[in-house]
Amino acid sequence: MVKDLNNIREDFPILNEIVNDEPLVYLDNAATTQKPRQVVQALENYYYHDNANVHRGVHTLAERATEHFEAAREKVRAFINAASTKEVLFTRGATTGLNWIAASYGEKVIQAGDEIVISYMEHHSNLVPWQQLALRKGATLKYIKLTDQGTLDMADAKQQITSKTKIVAIAQAANVMGVINPVKELAKLAHAQGAIMVVDGAQSVPNIKVDVQDLDCDFLAFSGHKMLGPTGIGVLYAKEALLLEMPPIEFGGEMIDFVNLFDSSWTDLPWKFEAGTPDISGAIALGAAVDYLNEIGMDQIQAHSHEIVSYVLPKLQAIDGLTIYGPQDPAEHTGVIAFNLDGLHPHDLATGLDMEGVAVRAGHHCAQPLMKYLGIPAAARASFYFYNTKADADRLVNAVLATKEFFKDGTI
């Protein structure tokens, strides 16, 4: 269990909200996490004391803002163990990062007849950019199958990744079924065929310890708002050698070296890709979020997630008529559990849970191909984080039972 959990919860005032006359149980963390006071204070401190544009300014506020902005980059570098801050690009989020890879590296490398390999469990952000790239270039988009348990079929992965494969793009942790994928092994398969490994880290970086050098991934994209940071800030990690060869895809201030009337040259990494005024406050607050996560420890966060899922999964499995998608073994999960209740549309189920003060998400979760693969239109999804407790888990179970009882006559 995370140390001093009650004290940690005190850092999140929103957890004291009352929803529909019930104390809030927030279980929508896969969509976005709540923000501790320390992160909000980092935003406030920047705007109240250091607000200025970064880089090139010589006045005191500009120098302070630049110092805090680049310090945040170093915090992120250390957090994912990148070799250099040159490999850490600030973006608007994981979606932007994945689109940058497709639009820059992919556009340069992919030719007609090449293959791009993804899986059926990918979020649209790690599917549509590759789909559209393949359509533009005349390449083939291939999908790795899933096992009956909803995990990645590694035997099929070995079949799908061939000498024609140029890009393998897989989520390290799936946003619907909470599966943790063996991206280190996938990277070895990709590199053996001369392909590069792209990792969607939106769900993994907030929940498990991620070491990009150990994984040997070529790219990793993730979002700040899923790891206690603000919305609108994210990170793209890429190996320096790849970034040096990639063209920028946005142009303007900040990313230039010299601009002449008819040609331009680009500045050094990482700023070559960061056109315009960046989200300065967001990056600084993301640095504060990294500090907060480090104070708890990613090992403890992952252990707490395992403890909560081990506690609640059997209770949900015992509910008659409840179907859980993905692995039934808690050891194979992040804090994400997707489920449906017989006879209820997931939106009705989520509405019923909300009436009990329990916030979950319902829909296709930006994973429509996965929904089709599973043979369902949508699902409800509860996602736990380190500030959730076993009492929260019990509230979820009781809310499901109460909702089932309310709709037991089938008139919905």
Which amino acids are annotated catalytic?
Answer: 366
Q: How far apart are CA 267 and CA 388, in angstroms?
A: 44
Q: CA quadruple 82, 86, 90, 91: dihedral positive or negative? A: negative
The number of helices, as runs of H, and strands, as runs of E, in the chain is 15, 17
- Using CA atoms, how far apart are residues 131 and 125, in angstroms rounded to an integer? 10
Q: What is the DSSP string of 106-157?
A: IHHH--TT-EEEEETT--GGGTHHHHHHHHHHT-EEEEE-B-TTSSB-HHHH
Taking CA atoms, 187 is separated from 133, 255, 366, 401, in Å, by 21, 31, 25, 43
- CA 182, 185, 190, 193 torsion-angle sign: negative
- CA dist 394 and 391 (Å) reads 5
As a whole number of angstroms, the distance between CA 257 and CA 266 comes to 5
Q: Using CB atoms within 10 A of its CB, is residue 249 exposed (0-12), middle (13-18) or buried (19+)?
A: middle
Contact 264, 26 (CB under 8 A): no
Cα(251)–Cα(384) distance, rounded to whole angstroms? Answer: 40
Pairing mode, if any, of strands 165-171 and 196-200? parallel
Given a contact cutoff of 8 angstroms between Cβ atoms, the answer to whether 62 and 45 are in contact is no
Burial 272-310 (b: 16+ CB within 10 A, else e): bbbbeebbbbbbbbbbbbbbbbeebebeebbebbebbbe
Distance in angstroms (rounded) separating the CA atoms of residues 46 and 29:
26
Residue linked to tokens 């509230």 = 395
List C-alpha distances in Å: 215 to 77, 90, 107, 199, 200.
Answer: 15, 21, 25, 10, 13
